[in-house]
Structure 1
């Protein structure tokens, strides 16, 4: 997508492949975090890569992970929002599988935050039942650590959306949310934080929130996303650090990443 120039493109310093970095394996004991044991058949049905130990599907997401981490590490970025131009482009699946891929790295941890109050999907993908989440922190000061869920995958935790919010746009760029993002970024130096966001053209949540994360990844449905939608999204994101675009559901049946 040539109309979007990313900050990562401007950095010419070579970065070592993160998949070769095995310096210190991070081991986590989930004392407060609820551990969910997912149904493997459901994961396969929902195309969650932890259910597929081999194959092109897994390798495509590993490649996406490596490309993203190379660019983010070069800029010392820790927070990433994933969005699309319209619904049903695979944004939540991309966010979930990218988070899993990052957690596969022995020296990294990943936090996946479902911030799509319009259509929360992360719980459904993993078969998680949760009635509390991000909105409960924003509305009621519920402690984040009490709402994190480990989906049976080492080094990965999920923060669900929680209860619906009619004013999600205002809450997502409130000072309280900004403090949370900054705290998450600084507290865990090895953690990458991924926010699953609603489509940028559907409501103002993503556009209002995007200045508070380090960068944005745009998911494109190669068979459905229209050129005018891409141009509109590019215009909205012109002042935002765009990491790149992911071509989901591509004709070659692979996940493609363009920076």
Structure 2
């Protein structure tokens, strides 16, 4: 693979090697891909999140974000999927979503993909990464899904092959933003092992479930990481996440 190639300078990209599987509208409604539903009243929430994140990425010349949560089921994959679509709608860049949660890959489910091969297959076999990429029907958006789970995620995520893949995905296109959906911070050491390879992190917490102590512990673990913000998900009295920019002290 070559590096630093520019994507086509037009809004619609014709994919030749990447498989395209469009998400059906009923799947988007069922799995809350709100950014794909025209006229959904909650689209503005993710547009606001996109604007705040893009401002920081462009100011710092960052291209990669790890999306993490304190504990399981906080909605980090839901946020990753919708944020990825929102970023791809901004025509100045392409977006790649990587399902790096090897213990519980869910990105493919959100996009309604019948995943035959995923990231784990790349790490354990010689399958080319190009065979894993899927365009889910949104312009400028590509997904590298996961397929099945493993109990050896820490060992696999530490492989030189994984490190080389992340570096390649981050540098292949100058105008690409890469979102990595990582395992929860407090459930394993997978995310921490990999955090140095990302430019920044976005922390997802769940209202009424993530305790103040879990938030403090998560922020402490991310102390050496550039934090672009936090998302309060499942907020009481609201249907979708609210965004709060991180404030440095």
Aligned to 1:258: 245
Residues 195-210 of structure 1 correspond to what in structure 2 (within 5 A)?
195-210=180-195
Match of 2:42 among 57, 60, 67: 57
Aligned to 1:12: none
**Residue-by-residue CA offset, 1:65-99 (whole Å, 9 max, x unaligned):** 11011111111111111010111111000000000
Which runs of structure 1 show a deviation greater than 4 angstroms over 4 or more consecutive aligned residues?
none
Task: Give the whole-Å Cα distance in 2 for the aligned partners of 1:163 and 1:90.
Answer: 19
TM-score normalized by the length of structure 1:
0.86
Residues 82-121 of structure 1 correspond to what in structure 2 (within 5 A)?
82-121=67-106
Query: Where in structure 2 are there 5+ consecutive unaligned residues?
Result: 1-8
Task: Give the whole-Å Cα distance in 1 for the aligned partners of 2:230 and 2:206.
Answer: 10
Does residue 140 in structure 1 map to residue 125 in structure 2?
yes
Aligned to 2:65: 80
TM-score normalized by the length of structure 2:
0.90
Aligned to 1:179: 164
Task: Give the whole-Å Cα distance in 2 for the aligned partners of 1:108 and 1:138.
Answer: 27
Residues 1-259 of structure 1 correspond to what in structure 2 (within 5 A)?
24-251=9-236, 253=238, 254-259=241-246
Change (3 A) 1:81 1:150: same
SS in 2 for 1:137: helix
Aligned to 1:15: none
Query: Where in structure 1 are there 5+ consecutive unaligned residues?
Result: 1-23
Q: Which moved more, 1:30-39 or 1:95-104?
A: 30-39
Task: Give the whole-Å Cα distance in 1 for the aligned partners of 2:78 and 2:90.
Answer: 19
How many angstroms does 1:252 deviate by? Answer: 5.0
